[in-house]
Amino acid sequence: MGYRVAIVGATGEVGRTFLKVLEERNFPVDDLVLYASERSEGKVLTFKGKEYTVKALNKEGSFKGIDIALFSAGGSTSKEWAPKFAQDGVIVIDNSSAWRMDSEVPLVVPEVNPEDVKDFKKKRIIANPNCSTIQMVVALKPIYDRAGIKRVVVSTYQAVSGAGAKAIEDLKNQTKAWCEGKEMPESQKFPHQIAFNTLPHIDVFFEDGYTKEENKMLFETRKIMHDENIKVSATCVRIPVFYGHSESISIETEKDISPEEARDILRDAPGVIVIDNPQNNEYPLPLMVQGKDEVFVGRIRKDRVFEPGLAMWVVADNIRKGAATNAVQIAELLVDEDLI
């Protein structure tokens, strides 16, 4: 049995990756409908050797007959269009932040809370978490199940691809200008130069000094883990890397757990690859994880502040596991659970 799948935001970085992941994982697609903005209308994209023409999402129309819609088109677009798809019987899997904290919309990471996917029926919308949250909870859930987690302190080192096409161009153009000894071009996306620099600023700031990105890591983690008592303090930083988010994570556990036990637990955990041999310079790197769907964990050690506690280093491809792959995995869950 196959399904009619729509992709909203098909010409963007995540939209194109949807196509790759659907093909690589052999998701049962019978027909494909591609949507994007008016400026992308008429573009042709290829899926499994067949060409599909992109439609503009700018007209009222029926979406009946579509089984699943994968959205990656921004919060305002999702707020406007996701309910219209849902009203026509489509199950929407949305990558924006628009629905994540809606109490009637499940927020799902298949390795962490697959059971929540069944709650989509209230609004026929399932939210994909923030990219930095996804990789963190995939790494933390096996530890949480064994020893409990009370507090998390995380610093992220996030690739420019997470900020979109203009951010990628900023890093390319600024690096090229620096190497050629030319004047640094003005940034299209960031408030400061990103090449050879770090920006402790992702999304807008709130009055308490934290950013929206940092708050996402707190509130989304609580919702996914079903634990309102977990405390999360995040500092989110943009770095001059194209793909792959890295995270330095320290956790306070409820029960003592050794680094050796944590490694064993994580090696057996779904969607996790442990690379932890620092004596031979073996640990996860952004270049290593590019194009991969797993979450990579290394540098597992006793934390020197939290007792009991652990520190670890977590890296994942933000466009794949942090966005497209996680959404396709949710679609696979719907199929596996006979929910569609």
For residue 1, the model assigns a pLDDT of 75
Does the pLDDT of residue 61 top 80, yes or no?
no
Residue type present at position 340: I
The token pair at 103 is 């109490």
Mean pLDDT of 127-131: 97
Strand ranges across the sheet with 149-158: 231-238, 149-158, 245-253, 309-316, 295-302, 272-274
| Cα–Cα distances in angstroms (integers) from residue 269 to residues 132, 141, 262, 265, in the given order | 19, 9, 10, 6
pLDDT at 145 over 80: yes
CA distance 21 to 213: 26
- Alpha-carbon distance 243 to 168, whole Å? 9
Provide the percentage of residues in the chain whose pLDDT is more than 70.
99
Percent of the chain predicted with pLDDT > 90: 94
User: In the beta sheet, which residues pair with residue 155?
Assistant: 235, 248
Cβ(326)–Cβ(131) below 8 Å:
no
Burial 319-332 (b: 16+ CB within 10 A, else e): bbbbbbbbbbbbbe
**Residue 97 confidence (pLDDT) above 80:** yes
Q: How confident is the model at residue 303 (pLDDT cuts 50, 70, 90)?
A: very high
Is there a catalytic annotation at residue 236?
A: no
- Tokens at 229, concatenated: 């008592």
According to CATH, the topology of domain 132-318 is Dihydrodipicolinate Reductase; domain 2 (3.30.360)
What is the CATH number assigned to the segment(s) 3-128+323-336? 3.40.50.720
Q: How far is CA 247 from CA 48, 62, 154, 317, in A?
A: 35, 43, 7, 12
Q: Where are the beta strands (DSSP E) in the chain?
A: 3-8, 29-36, 44-47, 50-53, 55-56, 68-71, 91-94, 125-127, 149-158, 231-238, 245-253, 272-274, 295-302, 309-316
Distance of CA 144 to the CA centre of its chain: 20
Distance CA 47, CA 31 (A): 10
Whether pLDDT at 62 is above 90: no
User: 335 pLDDT exceeds 80?
Assistant: yes
Q: What is the pLDDT of residues 2-32, one digit of tens each?
A: 999 999 999 999 999 999 999 999 999 999 9
Question: Directed axis angle between helix 131-147 and helix 259-267, to 10°?
Answer: 120
Contact between residue 25 and residue 328 where contact means Cβ atoms under 8 Å apart:
yes
pLDDT of 266-301, one tens digit each?
Answer: 999 999 999 999 999 999 999 999 999 999 999 999
pLDDT class of 54 with cuts at 50, 70, 90: very high
In the predicted model, what is the mean pLDDT of residues 174-197? 96
Residue 60 has pLDDT above 70, yes or no: no
> Residue 63: is its pLDDT beyond 80?
yes
Residue 189 has pLDDT above 70, yes or no: yes
- pLDDT at residue number 38: 86
Question: pLDDT at position 313, please?
Answer: 98
Predicted confidence (pLDDT) at residue 87 exceeds the cutoff of 80? yes
What is the model's pLDDT at position 59? 67
**Cα separation of 195 and 110, whole Å?**
35
Q: What is the mean predicted confidence (pLDDT) over 28-40?
A: 93
Residue 113 CB coordination number (10 Å): 17
State yes or no: is 131 an active-site residue.
yes
Q: Residues 322-326: what's their mean pLDDT?
A: 98
Query: In the chain, which residues fall in CATH 3.40.50.720?
Result: 3-128+323-336
Question: What would the pLDDT profile of 220-266 be if each residue is shown by its tens digit?
Answer: 999 999 999 999 999 999 999 999 999 999 999 999 999 999 999 99
Q: What is the side-by-side order of every strand in the sheet holding 55-56?
A: 55-56, 29-36, 3-8, 68-71, 91-94, 125-127
CATH 3.30.360.10, the chain: domain bounds: 132-318
Per-residue pLDDT averaged across 94-118, rounded? 97
Q: 3-state class of 14 per DSSP?
A: helix
Which pLDDT band, with edges at 50, 70 and 90, does 102 fall under? very high
Q: Evaluate if residue 57 carries a pLDDT over 90.
A: no
Contacts of residue 155, Cβ cutoff 8 Å, sequence gap at least 6: 234, 235, 236, 237, 247, 248
Give how far Cα 40 sits from Cα of 8, 9, 37, 57, Å: 12, 9, 5, 10
Task: Report the chain's mean pLDDT, rounded to a whole number.
Answer: 96
Residue 104: per-residue pLDDT:
96
Pairing between strand 149-158 and 245-253?
antiparallel
Residue 72 CA to residue 250 CA, distance in Å, equals 31
Kindly tell me if the per-residue pLDDT of 304 is higher than 90.
yes
Give yes or no for a contact between 221 and 251, defined as CB atoms under 8 angstroms apart: no
